Amino acid sequence: MTAASHLLLLFYCTDVTPKDQPRPFPDGFMFGVSTAAYQIEGAWNEDGKGASIWDTLTHMDPSPIKDHSTGDVAVDSYHLYKHDIEIMKELGVHFYRFSISWPRILPDGFIHNINEAGLKYYDNLIDEIVRAGITPFVTIYHWDLPEVLQRLGGWANPHIVNWFADYAKIVYDRYANKVPYWITINEPKQICYEGYGSDAKAPMLNLSGIAEYLCAKNVLLAHAKAYRLYDDKYRKVHNGSVGISISCSWYEPATDTNEQDIQAAQDARQFDWGLYAHPIFSYNGDFPHEVKKNIYHKSAEQGFPKSRLPRLSAEDVSNIKGSSDFFGMNSYTTKLIYRDASLEGMYPTPSYMDDISAVFVKDPTWPQAKSSWLQSVPWGFYKLIKEVSKLYDRPPIFITENGWSSGLGLLDEERINYFKRYMNAMLNAIDEGCQVKAYSVWSLMDNFEWMNGYTEKFGLYEVNFGTLERYPRKSAYFYKEVIRTNSLDLYYEPENLTEAGHSARSRTTADDDNELI
């Protein structure tokens, strides 16, 4: 069977339209929307907030951001949060996943200087969320590390394990009585590989092959310490759930007959998400076998006296193993992988990419988003959920991010098609026994998309960054209907929406079930 026919078969097996419409979600299934503090809050230096690594990066001259923008104002949710909660209430979401800004709480990163104004902001935000009948779902860390801590090495410094636990304790003390769901850390790979091993995210250290692995160990230990802290001091009274969100892409061998390609795909999956998931969720704990083996052999070839991958001690393994009540999965796309001996030396040494030693490509027939890295491949989402369930004994899975980028415009048919196909693939996995309990769209509204600034739009709501008005896209109406009916109707289309008429009523209170604020 050729690679093309193999992929076509997968598409038909996992992306078919079911005969019975609509398809129900399980009883109690939760729908939400996700954001992150730096991307939406603005107020970057107000009310005692300290500088984060993203404040530092976006104020560099020349700017490394695609459109030279910053998150100084972003969508100004710091001041407009009540309106944003009204939007969520109208959507009907069950939960709102948002992050707390570490430097807004601890301007210097350390607990000697607690910013009460920052705590009060999140008091007001959480209270407003609860009043709206929405469940607050808090991410403790979503990339905005206090700049002071980065000067001390940031996530490459083992002391950050205690610094993070100190910060988490302040947050738990203040909000554990109101917040039932917690994410300790969002997307370790993006923190470690993209921020420390490359220049794709702040702090842009670009020290691949070493820095991302130091970071990985410390992130896992910091997560575990925050989890154990909740377990020991808060769970008995508040009975909340604590997890971690891991970015997960599916990697498919470019051919299904070449053993090297099959192994390359397995290696890529373990380096991408197994590096962080395996120590927490696997029966044996520790880093994945493929990761340990590849880095050990590459290190020896390169003249290192021992593996560049830091060792997890028996105590580390014990602390990390089982330190999550659910698997938080951020997933968007799929890549094809192959291994070609003739390409030896294509990556720098040492480096994360050389340790994987594979080539990542996309099928040109896959629908393409505004973001160059994002293609719609729903069968990959299905296979990912199935693989995580198989590897880790069917853990509860919360899809904490899933979304599609576009340009300007309210009639976002491609985003709706993406949601339909990915939700359908997710329902296929649920029907086959996977314990997916929640799904959250990235994102509620357009926001600062890191190195791409405001050039890519992921929002259910479009934002006019001149006036900061929010306008519902067609996808907002679609998502509202999914939540209202607790089902997926692949044939449902919101009616009577035009680009002009859509905008005109966007900031008025809805009069019927098909209109949004």
pLDDT in tens, the chain (517 residues): 333 334 433 443 445 445 468 999 999 999 999 999 999 999 999 999 999 999 999 999 999 999 999 999 999 999 999 999 999 999 999 999 999 999 999 999 999 999 999 999 999 999 999 999 999 999 999 999 999 999 999 999 999 999 999 999 999 999 999 999 999 999 999 999 999 999 999 999 999 999 999 999 999 999 999 999 999 999 999 999 999 999 999 999 999 999 999 999 999 999 999 999 999 999 999 999 999 999 999 999 999 999 999 999 999 999 999 999 999 999 999 999 999 888 788 999 999 999 999 999 999 999 999 999 999 999 999 999 999 999 999 999 999 999 999 999 999 999 999 999 999 999 999 999 999 999 999 999 999 999 999 999 999 999 999 999 999 999 999 999 999 999 999 999 998 777 765 544 444 333 344 456 5
Domain count, the chain: 1
Answer yes or no: is 511 within a domain: no
Would you state the pLDDT for residue 497? 78
Cα→Cα distances 393→244, 279, 388, 435, 460, Å: 17, 14, 8, 10, 34
The CA distance from 301 to 323, in Å, is: 35
Any idea what the CATH number is for the domain that residue 139 is in?
3.20.20.80
The amino acid at residue 33 is: V
Answer yes or no: is 509 within a domain: no
Burial status of residue 390 (CB atoms within 10 A of its CB: 0-12, 13-18, 19 or more): exposed
Q: Are 461 and 473 in contact (CB under 8 A)?
A: yes
Q: Are 57 and 72 in contact (CB under 8 A)?
A: no
The CA distance from 443 to 384, in Å, is: 21
Would you state the pLDDT for residue 6? 40
The CA distance from 376 to 340, in Å, is: 26
What is the DSSP secondary structure assignment for residue 493, as one 8-state letter? -
Answer yes or no: is 514 within a domain: no
Known catalytic residue: 187?
yes
CA dihedral 426, 430, 436, 440 (to 10 degrees): 30
Q: Which of 147, 187, 194, 462 is catalytic?
A: 187
The CA distance from 500 to 513, in Å, is: 20
Answer yes or no: is 435 within a domain: yes
Strands (E), 198-258: 241-247, 250-253
Would you state the pLDDT for residue 20? 60
- Give the DSSP letter string of 94-151: SEEEEE--HHHH-TTSSTTS--HHHHHHHHHHHHHHHHTT-EEEEEEESS--BHHHHH
Answer yes or no: is 121 within a domain: yes
- Give the DSSP letter string of 399-455: EEE----B-S-S--HHHHHHHHHHHHHHHHHHHTT--EEEEEEE-SB----GGGTTS
Answer yes or no: is 516 within a domain: no
Radius of gyration of the chain (CA): 22
Answer yes or no: is 513 within a domain: no
Sheet strands side by side (includes 359-361): 250-253, 334-338, 359-361
CA 170 distance to own-chain centroid: 24
The amino acid at residue 189 is: K
The CA distance from 198 to 206, in Å, is: 4
Cα Dmax for the chain:
70
The CA distance from 424 to 429, in Å, is: 9
What is the DSSP secondary structure assignment for residue 80, as one 8-state letter? H
Known catalytic residue: 495?
no
The CA distance from 106 to 116, in Å, is: 9
Would you state the pLDDT for residue 487? 98
Q: Which residue has the tokens 């907030």?
A: 49
Please name the residues in contact with 269: beta carbons below 8 A apart, sequence gap of 6 or more. Answer: 250, 251, 387
Q: Which of 212, 401, 414, 456 is catalytic?
A: 401
Answer yes or no: is 512 within a domain: no
Would you state the pLDDT for residue 501? 55
The CA distance from 497 to 411, in Å, is: 8
Please name the residues in contact with 236: beta carbons below 8 A apart, sequence gap of 6 or more. Answer: none
Q: Are 176 and 161 in contact (CB under 8 A)?
A: no
Q: Which residue has the tokens 């554990």?
A: 176
Show the domain range for 270.
Answer: 3-504
User: Any long-range contacts for 389-394 (C-beta under 8 Å, 24+ apart)?
Assistant: 389/429, 389/433, 389/434, 389/435, 391/274, 391/277, 391/278, 391/281, 391/282, 392/277, 392/281, 392/282, 392/327, 393/283, 394/433, 394/434, 394/435
Sign of the CA dihedral with 434 first, then 189, 268, and 11 last: positive
